Structure 1
Amino acid sequence: MFSLIVCTVDRSDQLERLFASLKVQRYTDFEVILVDQNLDDRLVGLVEGYSPFFTIRHIRSERGISRARNNGMAIATGTYICFPDDDCWYEPDTLEVANRLFAANSALSIITGRTLDAVGQSSVSPTGDEKLAITRRNYLKCGNSNSIFVRHAALGVIGGFDEDLGVGASSPFQSGEEADFLLRAIAGGLSLMYFPTLIVHHDQVTSEMGPKQIERARKYGRGFGALMRKQRFPFPYFLYRLTRPFGSWLIAALRSDRAAAQYKRAWLTGIIEGYATWPRWRKS
């Protein structure tokens, strides 16, 4: 059985889209653990409406994506666990494909797939057309949390998500939790593989560059910088990861594209801040 850990806050229409896609799954042996971070009962009606079609275990959690996922995993009963966001949705055969891949690859502890928008274009993170063994060199190109499927038994090696990383954390580091999860699996000697045939859907991330997006870029940058420090990537690699946002900022500045320049500078500044402050934060 699959346990789908769905963490949600401030959304209902998009969550219903996910539930509608689960209702038509061809592989039906799954449970949904809905980790509700809302302060009200806005989701009760939705849960009641879909409970006749699949098992929904509705629990409450404080805010923070990593904390919420850990609370969901603590009660998960499935052989396999996955982490669909409340604003993604599945193909009718997503769980069927995941089950088949695990059955055909018994040595794999984690499989990941592609996240595409409604018209089949990559969204959220870039991925390729060829299956790959996931390593410390290519982990950023092998899917995101929506498309991570892990054997329950492997959690004894990996542990849960780092609650100091990710959206809603009480720390300044508002990203990096899914990459950290994969990297700890690799460090634990587990085998991970990316499969482009495993599809999850998510809308394109907004390309707007207003004040909210700029502030978010800085917060997400801090998470990535913290990840670099936590996972002890060599300092030259850290510098390499700065070259792209620095180049993008410089080009935007030369073009007098103020919004783009502010956005890229926020991302660049965030990475540096996260890398510099992670050790102090962990010791505090």
Structure 2
Amino acid sequence: MRFSIIIPTLNRTTDLYNMLESLKNQTFTDFEVIIVDQNKTDILDSLIKPFESILDIKHVKTIAKGASNARNIGLSKSKGEIYTFPDDDCEYPNNFLEYINTYFIENVIDGIVVNTRDKNDGKPIANLSTSDVEIKRKNILKTVIEAGIFIKSSIAKGIVFDENLGVGATSGYCSDEGPDYVLRLLEKGAKLKFYPSFYMYHPNPIKIYNEKTSKRAYNYGKGRGYFLKKNNFGFFNIIYFLGLYLAGMLKSILFFDKNMFMYFFADLKEDMRDILNQNKKLLGLNFLLFVVGLSIPFSYAFNSICLGVLFLYSFNWFQKKL
């Protein structure tokens, strides 16, 4: 078996049907599909049944919560030479797996990560690198999205997803399980590359900024903070990601978009709150750099970032006192 396609699913029928249709239409057919069903009822039984005579499907039911938990269950059932983990609302172009298989044959590589694009407008759904690049620790958050991971089982054995991370995790840390998984593959010596020219389809979840997307940003920000803290990313990496959120807030001000502002603010607030709760030294270093920055001409942007950290720490402190 060449590919094991592990799909966690919850509360989706139409999207999963479309994904299975796209798999049915693949020009390369040496793969198994492992559907990890987290629904409380049997809503998928009749949906999956027509595909069982066409595709090699394992329908695994579980009451375990969280996408990462479901992926780990799928890994334990997998027999393929290459693992991949699309979401239940992804779709593959018809020749997608054929291209991926050819790439693995022609190149000495342990794994690749491909891009995800919205099917309606063709644009990437995440702000990742636009060029082919080797994945390293320093660029992992610009090159990895979990749905796009393809990794050889020979190097991935024994490595599982952190069940504290990902959509549906009981911890509330609803993001960055993919980068965390790949980071541990890199630590094991795996060689992976990001190829944005290879892509699958995935709906863009934040085309519209509203209360729902702000709540999503809040939970994803918690995941980002946990990921950075868990994996010991340094002060300047944290400041860099803080700067990205502040840039989004600035853009929202320029466009007079309150909902966009609240989206980036929710992400920023939860990200930094989670980091600062257990990193008092970071606060002290941040304040020192802010003071130094006052003496440096044209350092307004840098000082704004530092002030942002100080503000968020103060905000968190006052919340605890109330």
Task: Give 1:267 shift.
Answer: 0.8
Partner of 2:183: 183
Could you tell me how far 1:182 is from its partner in structure 2? 1.3
The residue number in structure 2 matching 1:49 is: 50
Partner residue of 1:150?
151
Structure 2 residue aligned with 1:26: 27
In structure 2, give the amino acid aligned to 1:60.
K
Structure 1 segments unaligned to the other structure (5+ residues) = 280-284
Residue pair 1:113, 1:197 contacting (<8 A) in 2 also: yes
Q: Tell me the CA shift for residue 255 of structure 1.
A: 6.2
Q: 2:97 aligns with which of 73, 95, 105?
A: 95
- Kindly indicate whether the alpha-carbon contact (under 8 Å) linking 2:71 and 2:161 is maintained by their aligned counterparts in 1: yes
Q: Do 2:16 and 2:89's aligned partners in 1 also have CA atoms closer than 8 Å? A: yes
Aligned counterpart, 2:119: 118
What's the secondary structure of 1:89's corresponding residue? coil
* Match of residue 268 from structure 1: 268
Q: State the number of aligned residues.
A: 277
- Deviations, residues 16-46 of structure 1 (Å, cap 9, x unaligned): 1111111111111111000001001110011
Compared with structure 1, are the counterparts of its residues 125 and 89 closer, same or farther at alpha carbon in structure 2 (3 Å cutoff)?
same
Is the aligned partner of 1:66 residue 2:68? yes
Structure with the bigger percentage of strand: 1
CA contact (8 A) 1:142 1:194 kept: yes
Q: Is contact 1:3–1:33 with CA below 8 Å preserved after alignment? A: yes
Which deviations, in whole Å up to 9, do the C-alpha atoms of 1:181-200 show, x marking residues without a partner? 11111222210012234221
TM-score (norm 2): 0.81
Does 1:208 pair with 2:208?
Answer: yes
What is the aligned-residue identity percentage? 32
Equivalent residues of 1:126, 1:143 under 8 A apart: no
Partner of 1:85: 87
Query: 1:255 and 1:206 mapped to 2: Cα distance?
Result: 16
| CA offsets 1:239-271 (integer angstroms, 9 cap, x no match) | 121012123324535765332222221111011
- Whether contact under 8 Å (2:172, 2:219) holds in the other structure is yes
Tell me the CA shift for residue 138 of structure 1. Answer: 2.1
The equivalent residue for 2:245 is 245
Task: Report the alpha carbon displacement of residue 274 of structure 1 after superposing the two structures with TM.
Answer: 2.6
The answer to which structure, 1 or 2, has the higher relative contact order (CA under 8 A, 6+ apart) is: 1
Checking the alignment, whether the CA contact within 8 Å between 2:5 and 2:83 is kept in structure 1 is: yes
Shift of 1:209: 2.5
Q: Which residue of 2 aligns with 1:225?
A: 225
Matched, 1:14 2:1: no
Runs of 4+ that moved beyond 4 A: 253-256
Which residue in the other structure is 1:282 paired with? none
Instruction: Report SS of the residue matched to 1:111.
Output: strand
Shift of 1:278: 7.1
189-198 or 230-239, which moves further after superposition? Answer: 189-198
CA–CA separation in structure 2 for the residues paired with 1:126 and 1:261 = 17
SS of residue in 2 equivalent to 1:7: strand
Distance 1:196 1:261 in 2: 28
User: 3-state SS of the aligned residue for 2:60?
Assistant: strand
RMSD (Å), alpha carbons: 1.9
Equivalent AA in structure 1 for residue 26 of structure 2 = Q
C-alpha separation in 1, matches of 2:138 and 2:233 = 10
SS of residue matched to 2:157: helix
1:70-115, Cα deviation, whole Å (9 max, x unpaired): 0000110001110111101001111111111111223x22111121
Quick check: 2:144–2:178 contact (8 Å CA) kept in 1? no
| Alignment partners' CA distance in 2, 1:45 and 1:255 | 47
Distance between the aligned counterparts of 1:263 and 1:117, measured in 2? 20
What per-residue deviation string (whole Å, max 9, x for no partner) do you get for residues 112-148 of structure 1? 1121222563333134553211112222232412211
Measured after TM superposition, the shift of residue 275 of structure 1 is 1.9
Q: Specify the SS of the correspondent of 1:241.
A: helix
Cα–Cα, structure 1 residues 123 and 73, in superposed 2: closer, same or farther, change >3 Å? Answer: same
Higher gyration radius (CA): 2
Partner-residue secondary structure (3-state), 1:137:
helix
Q: Distance in 2 between matches of 1:81 and 1:51?
A: 20
Give TM-score, length-normalised by structure 1: 0.91
From the two aligned structures, give the one with the greater helix fraction: 2
Q: Quick one: distance in 2 between partners of 1:50 and 1:10?
A: 19
